[in-house]
Structure 1
Amino acid sequence: MVHRQYVTCALTYDLVVSWDAELTALITRIAGPLFTRPEPRQAFADLVRALLADVPRKNSWQLADHIGHATAHRFEHLLDRAKWDVDALRDEVRSHVIAHLGRADGVLIADDTSAIKKGQMSVGVADQYCGLTGQVENCQVMPMLTYASAAGHAFVNRRLYLPESWAGDPQRRARAGVPEHVAFRTKPQLVIDMLAEELAAGTPFRYLCADSGYGRDPHLCAFCHERAISYVMAVPVDLPLVAARGGVEPVGHVLDRILALGRAGVWERRSCGTGTKGLRVYDWTALAVAVAGQAPAPGHAHTLLIRRSVSAPTEVEFFLAHAPARVPVTELIDAAGMRWKIEENNEHGKDLLGLTSYQVRKWTPWHRHVTIAMLALAFLAAMRAALPADADETAGKGKDRLLLEAPAG
């Protein structure tokens, strides 16, 4: 029974009860074929409900205490020693997201998030760039894939980045339970692996979106060109373009020429979506380009989008679009504006659902915890999409804080 929720709009008792019934049905449907024994099946149900509850620190012991377990041993066994297929759960998460949020014009968004850790024992932990702080930290890096449409957005896939210092160390791999087949892969290569899985699963999407860390990678771009995948990805200022008179020039030179023209008319003010503070309005310009060494897919073309801040015109970001020829620029701008949705998933996953609050150190428990947290987020996204129109309009940002309080005992 659901007996507490955190939203900013008034919701009926019947609607709240229906959420609990939906959650029970979802857990039952997934847990049935996933587990052969009743004990891990019940622990799985308890953990999902605990992650959705208002628990201050969502580590195994506090979640166990909230749900009424004497110790965290049931959750620890579920995450480590119990026999079940975590990729089958990942597939169920994707299916649930697509069933409730799937649209032909949906987008896949790639980004990585970080978990700062102490010590050197947690699988994949190393001194590496941390997006949370913008500097090198002792952390784990997690490339994630979000599915987003007009109906909502949630994670559908995940990877743990294994630095070369880990991938080439047999002793560390053995202690952390890293499977033998897992080799070193760059973060863009991990995104390629996830994209291949989404294509095989038939995930409906029109564009791939990502930041410049992925947009600059020639292997990821080549994968998209070979498979005619449309994308709108941020790119760095030094991305090489074919110059009009031959040779190669960086993207930044294109902006220099535009600014030298001194014509205000080359910019058009447009919104690329709604953010937490309302419409996200920028000045935009676009032009057809040829990328050095990267031929687009047949029937496709490359377009460079330049986005300029209205309040601070010196703040500029570049996006490279790969899409069917004659696609409206407004569609590309809309796709560029979808990228921020994975940042919201990262924020809510961490702040509300314990995405990185785990106390596990090994490969399998990491994947299990993160995927269960993804299921919790997928459930919330589906419930948000199903909110009545009046509740949805009233809730605003607060509807993302919808949490389900599991009964004690």
Structure 2
Amino acid sequence: MLSASIETTLELWASSLRDIKARIQPLFTQQRVAASANLFLDGLLGDERRKTGWMRAEAAGDPGPWRQQAILGRGRWDADDLRDVVRGYVVEHLAADDAVLVIDETGFLKQGRATCGVGRQYTGSAGKITNCQIGVFAAYVSRHGHAFIDRALYLPKAWTGNAARMAAAHVPDGTAFATKPCLAIQMIERAIAAAVPFAWVAADSVYGVGDIEMALRRAGRGYVLGVHADRHFGSWADKPPVAGQAEEIARDLDPSAWQRLSAGDGTKGPRLHDWAYCELADLDAAEYDEARAGVWTRGLLIRRNIADADMAFISTWCPAGTTVKTLVEVEGHRWAIEDSFETAKNELGLDHNETRSWHGWHRHVSLVMLAFAMMAAIRHQANTSAPKKTIRMAARMQHRR
């Protein structure tokens, strides 16, 4: 497939940047605040490796970081309104009825105790328990591309149980402790309420819990959700007999039950694993929502690493007749949010936020989400097989004009 020319990409870049700036203009009651937000976006999209206040200010020609900091702190605007703008923009450019909503979390390494939500907790970003914030995100993944559409800052009980600490970080009154799965359910519900078209939800074992499964069954959405090896599964009715912990079931499978399939292309080609699928039960969708009809299948999907036989276990819910290949492809969409985290941190400063408040985190993250969504839309429109190099080059040229 031919890449779009640099000229075409530059035109897309310029028109897209004007478009998103126009879309967020109504969020700000003062023109100077809107202008600062525009400069903030310019800084995020620029070629500076660090997107700190001083770096963004220097790129904007400001004598200091005060205007850049004000947009995250003192300015009066609602980050949730910006989140909704981002979601609408992503749907407009990347929508597909068979899209997958991917839920995952990422860590933001921090020092001290004052930054909102900070605490000693595990983050995959560092691979250990460390002092950090945790953000839960929802990414929209379709055949047209992928981008974030929602986010939430996780507050440990050490925060929600300390009113003075919450007030000092400007956490909104009434904010209570919510588990990560609870935050995920809220994101799913917001997406459904906004009529975001998607057919599936995918997530790792942090989110493979009953509450999310039931919410998705009631909503008529399929899911592939990671679960722990000791999760109990059982079949019934006319399905082949299966009962026990996921790891036990996998160990007892006949060798013929496994098939080698790709979960999508990675940096080194097809991501091949051995897969097995156990259908557990066929259920009428009306059992969960009287307004729905049709037979859906509850199942257990098992992934086995070719090299070391390490296994992962996935709870599934899908329309009857869905193929194993389809379930594997949906599960493979999870890589997109990992790629999104990496790109947003390395190129857009997702983890370069210097503010300590609740509002500062949500504003910074939402602005990065908007910048990321714009790049995803450009990539889709450019219709190129090697978009990142072309778009980064165009970004640098545009930034230096």
Is TM > 0.5 for Structure 1 vs Structure 2? yes
Counterpart of 1:207? 200
| The one of 17, 25, 32 aligned to 1:23 | 17
Pair 1:220 & 2:212 matched: yes
Residue 290 of structure 1 and its aligned partner are, at CA, apart by: 5.6
Structure 2: how far apart are the matches of 1:132 and 1:266? 35
Counterpart of 2:347? 352
Counterpart of 2:248? 253
SS in 2 for 1:213: coil
Percent identical across equivalent pairs?
Answer: 35
Residue 364 of structure 1 and its aligned partner are, at CA, apart by: 0.7
Q: Which consecutive residues of structure 1, in runs of 5 or more, have no partner in the other structure?
A: 1-7
Structure 2: how far apart are the matches of 1:125 and 1:403? 37
* Amino acid corresponding to residue 233 of structure 1 in structure 2: L
Counterpart of 1:268? 259
Q: Summarize the Cα distance change of 1:407–1:69 in structure 2 as closer, same or farther, 3 Å threshold.
A: farther
SS in 1 for 2:382: coil
Residue 408 of structure 1 and its aligned partner are, at CA, apart by: 6.7
Q: Alpha-carbon deviations, 1:113-136, whole Å to 9, x = none?
A: 000101001000000111112211
| The one of 159, 168, 181 aligned to 2:161 | 168
Counterpart of 2:230? 238
| The one of 314, 317, 325 aligned to 1:322 | 317
Matches within 5 A, 1:9-158: 11-31=5-25, 33-158=26-151
Structure 2: how far apart are the matches of 1:400 and 1:113? 25
Contact 2:296 2:318 in 1 (8 A): yes
* Amino acid corresponding to residue 86 of structure 1 in structure 2: A
Residue 229 of structure 1 and its aligned partner are, at CA, apart by: 2.2
SS in 2 for 1:57: coil
SS in 1 for 2:355: coil
Contact 2:135 2:152 in 1 (8 A): yes
235-244 or 193-202: which moved more?
235-244
Residue 403 of structure 1 and its aligned partner are, at CA, apart by: 6.5
Q: Summarize the Cα distance change of 1:408–1:181 in structure 2 as closer, same or farther, 3 Å threshold.
A: farther
Structure 2: how far apart are the matches of 1:87 and 1:186? 20
Counterpart of 1:3? none
Pair 1:181 & 2:177 matched: no
Counterpart of 1:371? 366
Structure 1: how far apart are the matches of 2:62 and 2:170? 27
Q: Summarize the Cα distance change of 1:318–1:296 in structure 2 as closer, same or farther, 3 Å threshold.
A: farther
* Amino acid corresponding to residue 128 of structure 1 in structure 2: Q
Q: Which consecutive residues of structure 2, in runs of 5 or more, have no partner in the other structure?
A: none
Q: Summarize the Cα distance change of 1:238–1:290 in structure 2 as closer, same or farther, 3 Å threshold.
A: farther
277-286 or 192-201: which moved more?
277-286
| The one of 272, 282, 305 aligned to 2:273 | 282
Residue 246 of structure 1 and its aligned partner are, at CA, apart by: 9.4
Counterpart of 1:311? 307
Q: Summarize the Cα distance change of 1:403–1:144 in structure 2 as closer, same or farther, 3 Å threshold.
A: farther
Structure 2: how far apart are the matches of 1:251 and 1:361? 42
Contact 1:276 1:397 in 2 (8 A): no
Q: Summarize the Cα distance change of 1:182–1:317 in structure 2 as closer, same or farther, 3 Å threshold.
A: same
Aligned residues: 388
Pair 1:386 & 2:381 matched: yes
* Amino acid corresponding to residue 22 of structure 1 in structure 2: S
Q: Summarize the Cα distance change of 1:10–1:378 in structure 2 as closer, same or farther, 3 Å threshold.
A: closer
Residue 242 of structure 1 and its aligned partner are, at CA, apart by: 2.3
SS in 1 for 2:252: helix
